[in-house]
Amino acid sequence: MAKETGIVRWKDLALGCTLMEPGTAAELKTGDWRSMRPVTNRELCIKCGQCYIFCPDMVYSRTAEGYYEANYYYCKGCGICARECPKDAIQMVQEEK
């Protein structure tokens, strides 16, 4: 399969639409079906890492300053991080077209 899932001709698909490389869930662009995105307010954030721990898609990564940043290629907008954040630092905002 192509690196970015789906942009491929039917003839180029592997047998049975198999993902041939290990760890290839990385190719699944789960961000495609998001309607709300989490936005972190760094004024409120205490860098506790709860969002990082609870995100089911391992979307957050730690920045040099210790904040947590979401990768929207994978974030599906489930809102779990916003719910778990002890400081209500994360707001779910509507995606725009």
Residue closer to ligand SF4, measured from CB, 6 or 79: 79
CB of 83 to another protein, least distance (A): 24
Q: Does 45 bind ligand SF4 (CB under 6 A)?
A: yes
Rounded alpha-carbon distances, angstroms, from residue 2 to 31, 32, 34, 76: 17, 16, 22, 21
Distance (Å, rounded) from C-alpha 66 to C-alpha 49?
Answer: 9
Place of tokens 């309607």: 35
- From another protein, ligand SF4, none, interface partner of 11 (C-beta below 5 to 8 A by class): another protein
Q: Which residues bind another protein (CB under 8 A)?
A: 1, 5-11, 13-25, 28-29, 32
